[in-house]
Amino acid sequence: MVTVDGVEVIMAPPDGYVVNFANPPQIGKTEIVSVIIVENILAFAFLCQRLYTKIFLLKKFQIEDATVLFAWATSVGTQAELLRLYVVKAVGVHAYEMPLERYQYFSRVIFAAPLVYTFTVASAKATLCLFYRRLSPFKTYQIFVWITMFLCVGSSMAIFFSLVFACKPIAASWDPQLAQIAQCLHRPAIYVATAGIGVFTDVILLALPVPVIVGLNMPTRQKIIVLFLFAIGSITLVTSIVRLVILLPSLTDQDQTYALTKGTLWICIESNLLIMCCCLPTLRRFFHHIAPSIIGERSSGAKSSSKGLERPGIRTFGSGPLQPKGAKYQLDTLMHTRVDECDDNDGRHSLRPDEHHHVTNIRGGTDSQSSNGDQNAGYESDDPILKPISKTVTVQVTYEPNKRP
């Protein structure tokens, strides 16, 4: 610590530089304010779309919806902390142009913000893994999903505790006055490990669902749309790499309040993109409701008319309360009977083949517990978001009236 013009500062200014404590020049404020406003509006819109789809359209609020809400809350908290630094001119300003008290505030926020951000990353990636686990019933695929989630959450928690206990005493992590007596880990290595693990897990999350989607029995246009939605998730991979490239030189710079300006900007960019990527899986179902032509599907009215032809239906074994206890995937067999000519007087359809001409449609999913046949063929997920893109097998049986002698 040195004293400049009667003010105690963390470091001395360059020779000949005239400091301005009253109104020091600041960089990066316009950029980060613009990013926070625009991206938070987009992230909140994506989040509302997801919650509307899950709560009102699908009437399902699952554990991944809670994790994405937690990720969004911690993302907003991280950005609020960083924005406060710019408001009080504790970042984007040279360290030798701010009082020691302001630098200490900068140190506390820079210590706390990455801790909160680890929960954003862990929750967002856990949300995607919880969604991925319903894409396919294959046991091997399920194991890979759980391993990936363990890597994402476990690495984030390891980084969290590494940051908390990086120094002894712990307060030395944010109090520069304790630097002389403190014993600290090599902090730059921790931040590099954070970014490196983020890149690694992003690659896994990007590649994991691709084989399942490619194998779906669906129109090519819809398959391309679904793959495109998952490919958008690679944006966070790009931001992780950019953040790593920017972070490396800034960590060894003595003028931390000035050098970390771009790093704080990219944290805000990445945190909002993580939330938007978590909300992408429900976009298809959302557009199916409001604008089905965009994704190459029929309107809701057309589907309702089509369903009217199949009425009445008989729901048979393997659904509802008859589902085996503990089964992860829904075993669902539906039999819809259509009578071409007429109904009985009481409104019930006769199933006797010698009275009418009947067409029976049998649609079946696949029991994930079965040991015979291809486990993925005909699989229909229990998640309504995935039902429009799942495989189905339909068998049509026609009954002709018996000819009497």
Domain coverage including residue 49 = 2-12+26-294
Interhelix angle 100-132/187-207, nearest 10 degrees:
20
Pairing assessment for the beta strands 167-168 and 7-9 based on DSSP bridges: unpaired
In a domain, 317, yes or no: no
DSSP alpha helix (H) spans, 133-170: 139-164
Does this model's pTM top 0.75?
no
Give the whole-angstrom CA distance, residue 48 versus residue 329: 28
Give the whole-angstrom CA distance, residue 40 versus residue 67: 18
What are 299's two structure tokens?
């309107």
Yes or no: say if 60 and 110 are a contact pair by the CB < 8 Å rule. Answer: no
Mean pLDDT, 10 residues at a time, over the chain (405 residues)? 85 89 92 95 96 92 94 96 95 93 94 94 93 88 93 92 91 87 82 79 85 77 73 76 82 88 92 91 83 60 44 38 40 34 44 48 46 43 48 56 55
Give the whole-angstrom CA distance, residue 384 versus residue 276: 20
Predicted confidence at residue 203, as pLDDT, reads 87
What are 300's two structure tokens?
């809701």
Count of structural domains within the chain: 1
Give the whole-angstrom CA distance, residue 123 versus residue 82: 20
Contacts 24+ apart (CB under 8 A), 322-325: 324/369
With the C-alpha atoms ordered 229, 234, 236, 242, is the resulting torsion angle positive or negative? negative
The helix/strand/coil state of 178 is helix
In a domain, 238, yes or no: yes
Predicted confidence at residue 233, as pLDDT, reads 66
Yes or no: say if 230 and 280 are a contact pair by the CB < 8 Å rule. Answer: yes
What are 32's two structure tokens?
């980060």
The helix/strand/coil state of 213 is helix
Task: Select from 348, 352, 354, 353 the least CA-distant residue to 314.
Answer: 348
Yes or no: say if 92 and 86 are a contact pair by the CB < 8 Å rule. Answer: yes
Interhelix angle 234-251/261-278, nearest 10 degrees:
160
In a domain, 322, yes or no: no
Give the whole-angstrom CA distance, residue 336 versus residue 261: 63
Provide CB contacts within 8 A for 76, sequence distance 6+: 40
At residue 11, what are phi and psi to the nearest 5 degrees?
Answer: -150, 155
The helix/strand/coil state of 363 is strand
In a domain, 348, yes or no: no
In a domain, 381, yes or no: no
Give the whole-angstrom CA distance, residue 213 versus residue 223: 7
Q: Which CATH number characterizes residue 173's domain? A: 1.20.1070
In a domain, 337, yes or no: no
Give the whole-angstrom CA distance, residue 65 versus residue 344: 47
In a domain, 7, yes or no: yes
Task: Select from 384, 385, 387, 368 the least CA-distant residue to 141.
Answer: 368
Task: Select from 329, 323, 393 the least CA-distant residue to 363.
Answer: 393
Neighbouring C-beta atoms of residue 11, cutoff 10 Å = 16
Give the whole-angstrom CA distance, residue 282 versus residue 223: 15
In a domain, 388, yes or no: no
Task: Select from 177, 153, 217 the least CA-distant residue to 379.
Answer: 217
What are 172's two structure tokens?
């030395």
